[in-house]
């Protein structure tokens, strides 16, 4: 990092915060603060939805995931387009017609206050924890690369978001997200282009052949395995239920499309998200593949988390790490030779040579992996920290390979992604706490100004909670998966409540209330005691709520009719 | 599906079904292309 990087980083962040505050000044009504006066055009709705979903974790972890595991993570998003269609048909017209601030308000009109409060409570748990993770991920990365304390980076991110979410509410969130997403995608594509141009010997088309030959182009897997996290079936079925819950029952997304200026604008925002999301994830994953290609011809670090590595080297008296490092370098030199051979074999379409060099590359890659595992085990022994190296692959590439100026821009990308998703989450937590808890059950009759002031205090409260949670969070195996697992524990149950409300007219409030508690207990048991892929928790939770609601309603009806007869 | 009114009439297509079919078709085409990429490389 040099002066140019700092100027770019703080210039971009400062402009975003100032723009958010300036464009949303004078927001003094509940309608303005919580749903941006329902005035956004469809393209702002679409960008806002996409920026909310794509947190910093998406941009830090996803390329690293492609680097290690190939492109198969793309299948996770296959359920999203159909979820957009279903929601445009069902939930969106209903929410718009009732002019609700939150999705949970609708549940009171369909059932009663206890179902509304339970759904709001589930949402506050899942989103409350995940906003902490949303802040934690970039804070951890930035504290590592800048050598700052985690507390400082956490407070920096949290405070920047607080300034414009407290000042302008939902409108500030939507307006800033337009520019944040533009900066994010622009920065990512520039990083991918640099990785490609610094990879010698291959044209862009040949990168596909090379990546495919070494097993990275595993985009679609039709084998059904409920324990496999990413295949087409877990994506289409599990993903469909996850995204129905996320976009239909999670206020952080519902709040985004409720800000549309009409039903048409809200629907178009969701539809374009359905059209663009999968290609966008393809691009992000392929940037990870381009980084992987770069490191086929250039020596990759033994450990991508440079700070942890340097600490381990200092603490390592026995010289074990240096020994592993020299073996790692020898292995890479051999592998590079084979990579050059493979590139020329691909160009010459020489299949026997392709097969021969691929076998050699795979063997050498296994040796590299084994050395990396040994190094990580030794680092854990000497420093007591294991960490997750996958999350550092992309950012380490940025910090070591990009020119000055672009390093600052890419750091602004990480900050922007963190801020955009955190802002939506804080706004959603505020809407739910204010409308579904505070206004509904604590202070029922007050003027608009009172609730706006309360909303601002509640936003500050949730932001402080998120920062505290981020500071307490320990290293997770993989941050993106952790965020999704926390979501999946509650999303299925929430979706079950909403689907019962939309389609199962037979069930009434008490049946849904108790079935939602049973359904949640079942999902938690599945998570604690089975190896079921987490994407299926959504289906299991949703099915359990609807099934038990029907059963409980049946017995309630029988009991009631017997009492009437007596 | 709600009836098209002045307020919610979709652009380009006559009804919202056109947009929904477009989303489904684009997804299907993508899955076919990604399957071809998986099997070709």
Structure token digits, residue A326:
């020299």
Q: Is the pLDDT of residue A320 over 70?
A: yes
In the numeric block, the tokens 């942890």 are attached to: A308
What pLDDT score was predicted for residue A57? 76
Structure token digits, residue A463:
């932001």
Mean pLDDT of B6-17: 76
Nearest to A264 by CA among A57, A530, A38, A11: A38
Structure token digits, residue A407:
């390093």
ipTM, two decimals: 0.87
Q: Is the pLDDT of residue B4 over 60?
A: no
Q: Is B34 on the interface with A (CB under 8 A)?
A: yes
Question: Torsions phi, psi of A102, nearest 5?
Answer: -130, 160
Across the interface, of B10, B24, B35, the residue whose CB is closest to A264 is B10
Dump pLDDT digits (tens) for A4-52.
Answer: 988 998 898 888 888 888 877 777 788 888 887 888 899 999 999 998 8
Across the interface, of B1, B8, B38, the residue whose CB is closest to A218 is B38
Across the interface, of B23, B30, B41, the residue whose CB is closest to A217 is B41
What pLDDT score was predicted for residue A479? 54
CA angle (A396 as vertex; A392, A401 as ends), nearest 5 = 155
Q: In 3-state terms, what secondary structure has residue A508? A: coil
Percent of chain A exceeding pLDDT 70 equals 96
- Per-residue confidence at A429, pLDDT binned at 50, 70, 90? very high
Percent of chain A exceeding pLDDT 90 equals 34
Q: Which residues on B lie below 8 Å from A264 (Cβ)?
A: 7-11
Using an 8 Å Cβ cutoff, are A190 and A496 in contact?
no
Q: Is the pLDDT of residue A480 over 60?
A: no
Give helix A42-53 / helix A251-258 axis angle, nearest 10°. 160
Dump pLDDT digits (tens) for A135-185.
Answer: 887 887 778 777 888 888 889 888 888 888 888 788 888 888 888 888 888
What pLDDT score was predicted for residue A566? 66
CB B2: neighbour CB atoms within 10 A? 16
| C-alpha span between A560 and A554 (Å, rounded) | 10
| C-alpha span between A216 and A121 (Å, rounded) | 41
Q: Is the pLDDT of residue A474 over 80?
A: no
Dump pLDDT digits (tens) for A205-249.
Answer: 888 888 888 888 888 988 887 777 788 988 898 888 889 888 998
Dump pLDDT digits (tens) for A59-93.
Answer: 888 888 898 889 999 999 999 999 999 999 988 99
| C-alpha span between A286 and A121 (Å, rounded) | 38
| C-alpha span between B11 and B8 (Å, rounded) | 9
What pLDDT score was predicted for residue B1? 44
CB A14: neighbour CB atoms within 10 A? 11
Q: Is the pLDDT of residue B3 over 60?
A: no
Q: Is A464 on the interface with B (CB under 8 A)?
A: no
Closest Cα of chain A to B39: distance in Å?
A: 9
Contact call for A264 and B30, based on CB within 8 A: no
Dump pLDDT digits (tens) for A389-418.
Answer: 887 888 888 888 888 988 988 888 888 888
Q: Is the pLDDT of residue A543 over 50?
A: yes
Q: Is B41 on the interface with A (CB under 8 A)?
A: yes
What pLDDT score was predicted for residue B2? 47
DSSP assignment letter at A99: T
The chain-wide mean pLDDT, for chain A, equals 87
The whole-angstrom distance between residue A200's C-alpha and the CA centroid of its chain comes to 33
| C-alpha span between A565 and A166 (Å, rounded) | 58
Contact call for B24 and A275, based on CB within 8 A: no
Nearest residue of B to residue A220 by CA position?
B35
Closest Cα of chain B to A350: distance in Å?
A: 14
CA angle (A428 as vertex; A230, A520 as ends), nearest 5 = 55
Across the interface, of B11, B20, B41, the residue whose CB is closest to A212 is B41
Count how many residues are written for chain A: 566
What pLDDT score was predicted for residue A424? 86
Q: Is the pLDDT of residue A481 over 80?
A: no
What pLDDT score was predicted for residue A385? 72
Q: Where is mean pLDDT largest: A104-118, A226-240, A382-396, B1-15?
A: A104-118
Using an 8 Å Cβ cutoff, are A490 and A124 in contact?
no
The count of C-alpha atoms lying within 13 angstroms of the C-alpha of A8, restricted to the half-sphere facing its C-beta, is: 18
Query: Of residues A531 and A298, which shows the higher confidence score?
Result: A298
| C-alpha span between A174 and A225 (Å, rounded) | 39
Dump pLDDT digits (tens) for A338-365.
Answer: 998 888 888 888 888 988 999 999 899 9
CA of A76: how far to CAs of A281, A527, A534, A536, in Å? 10, 19, 11, 12
Mean pLDDT of A531-558: 88
Within chain B, how many helices (H) and strands (E) appear? 1, 0
Q: Is the pLDDT of residue A472 over 80?
A: no
The whole-angstrom distance between residue A124's C-alpha and the CA centroid of its chain comes to 17
CA of A266: how far to CAs of A43, A44, A508, in Å? 9, 10, 30
A-B CB pairs within 8 A amount to 75
Mean pLDDT of B8-37: 89
Q: Alpha helix (H) ranges present in A384-447?
A: 390-401, 406-431
Using an 8 Å Cβ cutoff, are A118 and A501 in contact?
no
CB A315: neighbour CB atoms within 10 A? 13
């Amino acid at each position: 990092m040099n002066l140019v990087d700092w100027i770019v980083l703080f210039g971009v962040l400062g402009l975003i915060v100032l723009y958010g505050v300036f464009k949303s000044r004078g927001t003094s009504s509940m309608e303005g603060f919580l749903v941006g006066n329902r005035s956004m055009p469809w393209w702002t709705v679409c960008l806002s939805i996409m920026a909310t979903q794509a947190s910093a974790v998406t941009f830090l972890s996803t390329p690293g995931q492609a680097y290690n595991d190939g492109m198969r993570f793309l299948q996770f998003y296959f359920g999203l387009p159909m979820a957009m269609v279903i929601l445009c048909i069902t939930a969106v017209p209903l929410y718009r017609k009732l002019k609700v601030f939150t999705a949970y308000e609708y549940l009171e009109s369909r059932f009663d206050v206890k179902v509304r409060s339970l759904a709001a409570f589930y949402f506050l748990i899942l989103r409350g924890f995940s906003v902490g993770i949303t802040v934690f991920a970039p804070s951890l990365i930035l504290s590592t690369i800048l050598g700052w304390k985690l507390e400082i980076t956490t407070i920096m991110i949290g405070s920047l978001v607080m300034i414009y979410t407290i000042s302008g509410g939902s409108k500030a969130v939507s307006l800033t997200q337009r520019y944040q997403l533009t900066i994010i995608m622009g920065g990512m594509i520039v990083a991918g282009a640099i990785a490609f141009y610094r990879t010698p010997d291959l044209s862009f088309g040949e990168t596909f052949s090379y990546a495919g030959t070494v097993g990275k182009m595993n985009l679609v897997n039709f084998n059904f395995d409920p324990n496999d996290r990413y295949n087409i079936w877990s994506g289409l079925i599990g993903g469909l239920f996850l995204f129905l819950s996320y976009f239909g029952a999670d206020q952080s997304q519902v709040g985004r499309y409720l800000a549309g200026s009409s039903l048409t604008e809200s629907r178009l925002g969701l539809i374009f998200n359905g059209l663009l999301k999968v290609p966008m994830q393809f691009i992000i994953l392929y940037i990870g593949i381009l980084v992987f290609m770069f490191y086929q011809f250039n020596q990759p670090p033994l450990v991508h988390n440079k700070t942890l590595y340097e600490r381990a080297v200092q603490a390592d008296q026995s010289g074990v790490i240096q020994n592993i490092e020299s073996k790692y370098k020898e292995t890479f030199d051999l592998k590079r030779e084979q990579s050059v051979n493979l590139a020329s074999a691909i160009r010459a379409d020489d299949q026997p040579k392709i097969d021969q060099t691929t076998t050699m590359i795979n063997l050498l890659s296994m040796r590299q992996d084994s050395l990396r595992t040994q190094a990580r085990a030794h680092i854990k022994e000497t420093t007591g920290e294991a960490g997750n190296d996958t999350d550092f692959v992309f950012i380490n590439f940025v910090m070591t390979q990009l020119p000055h100026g672009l390093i600052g821009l890419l750091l602004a990308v990480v900050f922007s992604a963190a801020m955009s998703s955190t802002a939506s989450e804080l706004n959603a937590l505020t809407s739910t706490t204010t409308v579904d808890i505070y206004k509904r059950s604590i202070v029922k009759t007050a003027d608009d100004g009172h609730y706006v002031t309360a909303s601002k205090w509640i936003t500050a409260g949730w932001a402080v909670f998120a920062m505290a949670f981020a500071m307490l969070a320990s290293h997770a195996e993989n941050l993106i998966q952790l965020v999704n697992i926390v979501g999946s524990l509650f999303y299925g149950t929430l979706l079950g409540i909403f689907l019962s409300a939309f389609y199962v007219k037979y069930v009434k409030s008490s049946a849904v209330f108790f079935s939602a508690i049973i359904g949640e207990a079942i999902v938690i048991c599945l998570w604690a005691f089975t190896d079921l892929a987490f994407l299926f928790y959504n289906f299991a939770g949703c099915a359990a709520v609807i099934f038990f609601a029907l059963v409980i309603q049946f017995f309630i009806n029988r009991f009631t009719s017997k009492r009437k007869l007596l | 599906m709600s009836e098209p009114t002045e307020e919610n009439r979709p652009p380009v297509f006559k009804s919202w079904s056109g947009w929904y079919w477009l989303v489904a078709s684009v997804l299907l085409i993508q899955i076919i292309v990604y399957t071809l990429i998986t099997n070709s490389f």
